[in-house]
Structure 1
Amino acid sequence: MTRLSRRRFIAMSAATIAAGRASAAGRETAYWRGQALGARVQIALCGISQAEAAPLFDGLELELLRIESLFSLYRTDSALARLNRDQILRNPDPAMLHLLSEARAVFTATEGAFDPTVQPLFDLHARAFAEGRRAGADEVQQVRRGVGFDHVSLSPQAIRFHRAGMALTLNGIAQGYATDRLATLLKSAGLRDILVNAGEIRALGDGQGQGWTVSVPGGRALTLKDQAIATSDVSGTLVDPVAGIGHIFDPRGDAPPPSGPVSICHDSAAIADAASTAAVLMSSPERDLLRPLGAKIVGSAGIRS
């Protein structure tokens, strides 16, 4: 699939943005809804009409298809699916290398609490549940031998697994990447008041006033401006509802603590996504490791470092 370049996006959108600026005083808001990477996608563009935004939304749909072709676990032809199947991906797309480099930065900063090589654990427990049983301790131990992001090498020539049975999931960071990518394209086209939710949320500009109002778990409202927020919850999706096994697995081998949902703010939705995935697996003292990343936990009193 041809990548939607920044130049092509701007050229396609120039007339649309010019018209949108003319109507900005009325603060019209255009909306788009769709789906990507297993999440609902919602976009709001302030200062532009629905008709004026239509060419932009067409371009974003193409970009979401490209992102799916790279990072989807459920498309057998995606770059990620081919890597997991073949244990190597030659000449990877630069976007894949970029995302895995960001994942490695969070892996290193969290001392392994965020590790996208936990996918075999998900597969094991999902398969056992489908068979009407629980995964045995020996099975879990065997699968854990293939967990470890430090056994994945990254280069422009190839992404390669160095242990048998490895597999990656990018579900803890790719939705944030998609959010960042759409926001960046819209900003590069000249828009300034943007809200993108592709599983995680990024807000740019003032929205209808002093920022964009978003909801976080617990029903609280938070105002975002030029910032992203991501939330993770171990029990948000259950791989084995009978045993109460959630979809986030601790790569270090311990059972995830019952922390409830954790929301993280960051300039990047991808980093917020990965940091929140790690945070639900970390004790309160361990969460201090998130500070060098610039990740801020959203607490009951607001955002804190």
Structure 2
Amino acid sequence: MADTITRRRAICIMAATAGLPLIPFVGPALAAADPVVWRGQALGAPATLILNHPDRAKAEALVRRVVAEVERLESIFSLYRDDSSLRELNRVGALAAPPPELVTLLERCDEFWAASGRKFDPTVQPLWVLFARHFATRGADPRGPSRQEIDAVASLVSFDAVKFNRDRVVFSRPGMALTFNGIAQGFVTDRIVDLLRQEGITSSLVNLGESRAIGARADGTPWRIGLSETEDGATIDEMAALVDKAVSTSSPFGFHFDPALHFSHLIDPRLGSIEPLYRRLSVIAPDAVTADALSTAFTLTALSQVRSFVQASSDISVDLMTIQGEHMRLGPAS
């Protein structure tokens, strides 16, 4: 296995208890290690889970727990599953007795919405739908939706119009919708890390779209994550070294609505699609949900504001490439 893991090339969880390697082929002294390996689908992508544990039966049970937990959380947060809690909320505009995890995630969204000056806003989904429908139409104006169309839909975008508590979630305006695509992968990653730690895992890298490390690698060195502006990691422009931290990367080159590549998935909740500020922006944070949400928000934020935010934080760092190709590292070393 290569020493460097690139973002989102594959969903993969590697974990081991103390004294055991993460993979079986690390040397003759550890040749007896026989990890449990699971391969399947998770979060809509091919997934692999490698778990090394002295008790194989316990290892197999833990693998089943991890797979079941990812599936359960996906059934809450997915925009693409008809039976998910999020799809039901978006269809009806309200959700009674919401799953506790959905309410917890909404609380975190509220936190990041305020901290980012409203740049992080999961109610941006109607704008996403507007751009998707516009460019799916034959003969669509390559300049995108009209300003009038954008302004009309933008009136549905404001997280303070989502009212929620442990009993109910309600949209204040008809036509609103949520997306958790800028935070849910981080939330799921953190849940799996908590589960592994509870079961005595001391060395792990959890990559569920965002990467979070438990401890260091088996040899004591940090996990090395390749940072790339493309999701397949074909070209790595920088490295992040992680020990008990998480990293998340956002880039306008991950998805475009139009063939001319002028309109990316990074949509300002107030302005609609905007000219990109960064080729790639990566956030290193103590947990994956923070890294995920801030990487989403910072891609829409002027460099001076990103720098001010990082300077006020003792545990957040940012590694970015400006749209002109200038590399910068802000904040403490990872």
Normalised by the length of structure 1, the TM-score is 0.85
Match of 2:233 in 1: none
Instruction: Render the CA deviation track for 1:186-231: whole Å, top value 9, x for unaligned.
Output: 1101111011000000001121222212211234332210000000
Unaligned residue ranges in structure 1 (runs of 5+): 1-16
Equivalent position amino acid for 1:115 in 2? D
Q: How does 1:127-166 map to 2 (within 5 A)?
A: 127-132=133-138, 133=140, 134-166=144-176
- For 1:16-31, what aligned pairs fall within 5 Å after superposition? 23=20, 26=30, 28=33
Residue identity opposite 2:146 in structure 1: G
Structure 2 vs 1, CA of residues 105 and 35 (structure 1 numbering), >3 Å: closer, same or farther?
farther
Of 210-219 and 113-122, deviating more is 210-219
Change (3 A) 1:137 1:36: farther
Query: 1:179: Cα distance to partner?
Result: 0.8
What corresponds to 1:191 in structure 2?
201
Equivalent of 1:71 in 65, 77, 92: 77
Aligned to 2:281: 262
Map of 2:222 onto structure 1? 211
Aligned-partner SS, 1:64: helix
Alignment partner of 1:296 out of 286, 292, 317: 317
78-87 vs 218-227, greater mean Cα deviation: 218-227
SS in 2 for 1:264: strand
Which one has a larger percent helix, Structure 1 or Structure 2?
1
Aligned amino acid, residue 214 of structure 1: I
* 2:125 is the alignment partner of 1:119: yes
Q: Which amino acid aligns with 1:212?
A: W
Q: Secondary structure at the match of 1:165?
A: coil
Find the partner of 1:281 among 277, 296, 300: 300
**3-state SS of paired residue (2:277):** coil
Asked if the contact 1:203/1:226 (under 8 Å) is kept, the reply is yes
Does the alignment pair 1:99 with 2:105? yes
1:253 aligns with 2:271: yes
Task: Output the CA distance in 1 between the equivalents of 2:192 and 2:329.
Answer: 27
Distance, in Å, in 1 between the alignment partners of 2:158 and 2:59 is 44
Q: Is the 8 A contact 2:213 2:223 kept in 1?
A: yes
Number of the residue aligned with 2:212 = 202
1:97-152 Cα offsets, whole Å, 9 max, x none, are 11111111111001101100100111111111111214232221111110000111
Q: Deviations over 1:246-268 (max 9, x none)?
A: 11210131624331110001111
Percentage of identical aligned residues: 36
Larger mean CA deviation between 42-51 and 127-136 belongs to: 42-51
- Residues 156 and 173, structure 2, Cα contact 8 Å, conserved in 1: yes
Distance 1:125 1:81 in 2: 19
Match for 1:26: what amino acid?
Answer: L
TM-score (norm 2): 0.78
Larger CA deviation: 238-247 vs 262-271: 238-247
Aligned in 2, Cα 1:130/1:72: closer, same or farther, shift over 3 Å?
same
Please report how far the alpha carbon of residue 21 of structure 1 lies from its aligned counterpart in structure 2 after TM superposition.
Answer: 5.2
**Residue 44 of structure 1: how far off its partner (Å):** 5.0
Q: Deviations over 1:32-54 (max 9, x none)?
A: 55443345545555666988733
Please give the alpha-carbon distance, in whole angstroms, between the structure 1 residues aligned to 2:257 and 2:192: 30
Please give the root-mean-square deviation of Cα atoms over the aligned residues, in Å: 2.7
- Deviation of residue 243 (structure 1)? 5.1
Distance in 1 (alpha carbons) for counterparts of 2:250 and 2:40? 21
The residue identity in structure 1 corresponding to 2:316 is A
Tell me: CA distance 1:122–1:109, structure 2 relative to 1, closer, same or farther (3 Å). same
The answer to whether the Cα contact below 8 Å between 1:90 and 1:157 also exists between their aligned partners in 2 is yes
**Partner Cα distance (2:174, 2:315) in 1:** 35
Note closer, same or farther for the CA distance 1:20–1:258 as it changes in structure 2 (3 Å cut): closer
Q: Which moved more, 1:271-280 or 1:54-63?
A: 54-63
Moved more, 216-225 or 105-114: 216-225
- Equivalent position of 2:87 in the other structure: 81
| Greater CA drift, 37-46 or 105-114 | 37-46
Query: In the TM superposition, what is the alpha-carbon distance from 1:244 to its structure 2 partner?
Result: 2.1
Gaps of 5+ in 2: 1-14, 22-28, 229-235, 321-326
C-alpha distance in 2, partners of 1:240/1:50?
Answer: 50
